[in-house]
Structure 1
Amino acid sequence: MVRILRGIAHKYFSDDEAVILFLLLVGGVLAIIFFGAMLAPVIASVIIAFILQGLVTRLTQWGVPELLSITGVFVVFMGTLAGFLFGLMPLVWTQLASLATEAPRIFREMRTYLELLPEQYPNLISIEAVNDFYHQVAAEAGNLTQWLVSFSLGSIPDLLGLLIYLVLVPILVFFFLKDRRQILRAIARLLPSQRPMMSQIWQEVNQQCANYVRGKAVEILIVGGVTFVTFKILGVPYAALLSLLVGLSVVIPYIGAAVVTLPVAMIALFAFGWGSHFIWVMVAYGIIQALDGNVLVPLLFSEVNNLHPVVIIIAVLFFGGIWGLWGVFFAIPLATMVKAVFAAWPVHPEPLPGRRGQ
């Protein structure tokens, strides 16, 4: 056992830089696991500043002074945040509450549709399976309604936490943008002066993560906005709520679109019934998904390394289980970082058995 551990240490940890990088990775993961809730405003601010830095860099490349670029990008960020909080979120909340009150009628109509299935397909679906499915869905709807009531009655602590975020995050974002170079230099002083492996990993991860995170933010805005306009034109109820779900579904590749299709189809079915209007809604939704997957994604993520779908799903499940929604959002960049670390990690061949004593 000792010989095996000594061989592993010689093969993967003979380089001092590899040992330091390993300790940094372990320390970072443990810090996020144990202090993630405490440092959530800082982590969120770093992520937002990282996204906005691309716009600042682009403006400075066009000849705009850096401080003016930072100020302009920060003003746009604050305007977008205000529009989201005071424009979109109240509309989404109103539609969510309306959907909760309409849930009993929707479920009655759904049961009517479901009860027809055993008559049409008696060999595939039984009335007992339909009843079990209906009771499960009704129970989940009851839990959602109860959550809405409890949230509205006991949301004062959450509102205080939201106010803290609204004050701290913009301040931190501004200073992370303004003092980015000083912060990076301070971190670099803590690292070895000669760090070729860390520099290689940082360059690759920085490029890949920057392209992915900024592209994903643009994709969410475009897909959500196009879905909202399309559903409003077609008269789909709860258009803001559904467009928010469709926009956020792009965060989880392959899985998100499949999951969100169910509420879109259910609401369109109960609003218009089986007919041409329902077909038009689903066709329009399918076109949006097709354009997103075949046009928008290749355009936005042309410089991002492709990962196998199995790797993406495993990364979503693993990092989502550790860090929740943030882990889901950053599953692909984190998987890219792991790939870059493995690719750059120095591996020393084990000495030949006949030469150990020489």
Structure 2
Amino acid sequence: MFEYVKAWYENKFSDPHSVTLLLLLLATMALFYFFGALIVPVLVALVIAYLLDWPVVHLEKLGFGRFTATVIVMLIFSGLMLTLIVGIGPILWQQTSNLVQETPHMLERGKALLLHLPEQYPSLITATQVKSIVMNVETKALEFGQVLLSVSLTSLKDVAAWLIYLILVPLLVFFMLKDKLELILSAEKLIPKQRRLIIQVWQEMNQQIMNYIRGKVFEILIVGSISFIAFSVFDLRYAALLGVLVGLSVLIPFVGAALVTIPVAAVAMFQFGLETQFWTILIIYGVIQALDGNVLVPLLFSEAVDLNPVFIIVAVLFFGGLWGFWGVFFAIPLASLVKALLNAWSSQHIDNNKEESSL
């Protein structure tokens, strides 16, 4: 066993470039694990910088300087964000408040429907089973409400931190865009000279991350907008809030769509009952999800995602449990990174075998 492990180590890490890549990977993971909460503003700024680098580069191609292009893009982006906050923020806040107030009534209506099931379908479900289900749902709802209350109270303490982030993040984004080349050169000076595999992985991942972030933003906007329009056409209450939730659900592959189905179905059932409108809305929602998964995702992520769905789900569970929201958001790029690392070490193994055979 020891000889097998020794042979595997010599094949994979006999080259200094492999060792450098492994050490950099371990150092990065340790940094995120121990200091992840402290560098959240940097992560947010990095995501936005990746998103905005594309228009900055295109403005440079039109003859603008890097500084001028950065200023123009930052002004447009800030204007769009302010417009969304001022225009949509109050609507979402009002609809959220109304939905929270009506949630107890929705739960009571759902409870009443469940209690009538034994009368309508006595051969399928009993009154005892229904009471057990109702008790479990009430317990989970109470626990969820307590969690929301604790989170809201904790968020009040972090208001000052959020205000600071609103200042720091735009500044970080501006300087990341303006001084992109200088920052890359500075980072290269910190990496040892044995960096061939690091460069190989970076070149493979850099474009994938950029495509993924840009594609994910477009997917959120498209899916959220189409959902809002569809819900509004059928006069579903809280259409704006539900549209935003459906758009944000694409951040969690596969799981997000299933979770958002619950509020969509609950609001539709509370408003229309088990009538034609209810089933129509569920069918429309299913069509939107099907088009997203089978048409939109392949179009937007054809260059960024080449992973089996099993690997994506495992990545969501693993990295989400490790780093929370950011682990979920970057689950696919992180899974692609693991694939790139395995490819790099495999290619290194092949190169070593070629060198040995040539000798």
TM-score of the superposed pair, with normalisation by structure 1:
0.90
For residues 1-358 of structure 1, the aligned pairs below 5 Å read 3-146=3-146, 155-193=155-193, 195-345=195-345, 346-347=348-349
Q: Residue type of the partner of 2:198?
A: M
Give the whole-Å Cα distance in 2 for the aligned partners of 1:149 and 1:293. Answer: 34
Q: State, as a whole percentage, how many aligned pairs show the same letter.
A: 46
Shift in alpha-carbon separation, 1:312–1:67, aligned structure 2, 3 A: same
CA distance in 2, matches of 1:298, 1:350: 36
Structure 2: which 5+ residue stretches go unaligned? Answer: 354-359
Structure 1 unaligned spans of 5+ = 352-358
Distance 1:151 1:87, change over 3 A: farther
With 296-305 and 40-49 compared, the bigger mean Cα shift is at 296-305
Partners of 1:297 and 1:333 lie apart in 2 by: 15
Q: Alpha-carbon deviation of 1:145? A: 4.5
What is the SS of the residue equivalent to 1:347? Answer: helix
Higher mean C-alpha displacement, 191-200 vs 330-339: 191-200
Q: Helix, strand or coil: the match of 2:82?
A: helix
User: Residue 286 and residue 185 in structure 1: after superposition, are their counterparts in 2 closer, same or farther (change >3 A)?
Assistant: same
Deviation at 1:152, TM superposition (A): 6.0
Q: Letter of the aligned partner of 2:328 in structure 1?
A: V
Deviates most, 135-144 or 204-213: 135-144
TM-aligned CA distance change 1:148 to 1:315, over 3 Å: closer
Kept in 2, the 8 Å contact 1:11–1:349? The answer is no
C-alpha separation between the residues in 1 aligned to 2:250 and 2:242?
13
Contact conserved, 2:50 with 2:210, CA < 8 A, in 1?
Answer: yes
Distance of 1:120 and 1:80 partners within structure 2: 53
- Looking at structure 2, the residues matched to 230 and 349 of structure 1 have their Cα atoms a distance apart, in angstroms, of 55
Deviation sequence 1:45-65 (CA, Å, 0-9, x none): 112111221222233334443
- How many pairs align? 351
Provide the aligned C-alpha RMSD in A: 2.3
Offset of residue 336 of structure 1: 0.4
What is the CA distance between 1:137 and its match in structure 2? 2.5
Point out the more displaced range, 29-38 or 205-214.
Answer: 205-214
Q: 1:164-183 CA deviation, whole Å, 9 max, x = no partner?
A: 11011111111011111000
In the alignment, the residues of structure 1 paired with residue 110 and residue 2 of structure 2 have an alpha-carbon distance, to the nearest angstrom, of: 64
Instruction: Flag the 1:152–1:257 CA change in 2: closer, same or farther, 3 A.
Output: closer
Shifted more, 17-26 versus 248-257: the winner is: 248-257
Cα distance in structure 1, aligned partners of 2:315 and 2:128: 37
Contact 1:319 1:331 in 2 (8 A): yes
User: Under a length normalisation based on structure 2, what TM-score does the superposition of the two structures give?
Assistant: 0.90
1:100–1:145 CA contact under 8 A, matched in 2: no
- Mean CA deviation greater in 23-32 or 241-250: 241-250
How many Å separate the matches in 1 of 2:352 and 2:178? 48
Residue type matched to 2:137 in 1?
V
| Residue pair 1:42, 1:172 contacting (<8 A) in 2 also | yes
Given that 1:114 and 1:130 are in contact with CA atoms closer than 8 Å, whether structure 2 keeps it comes out as yes
Q: Which whole-Å CA distance do the structure 2 matches of 1:129 and 1:96 have between them?
A: 33
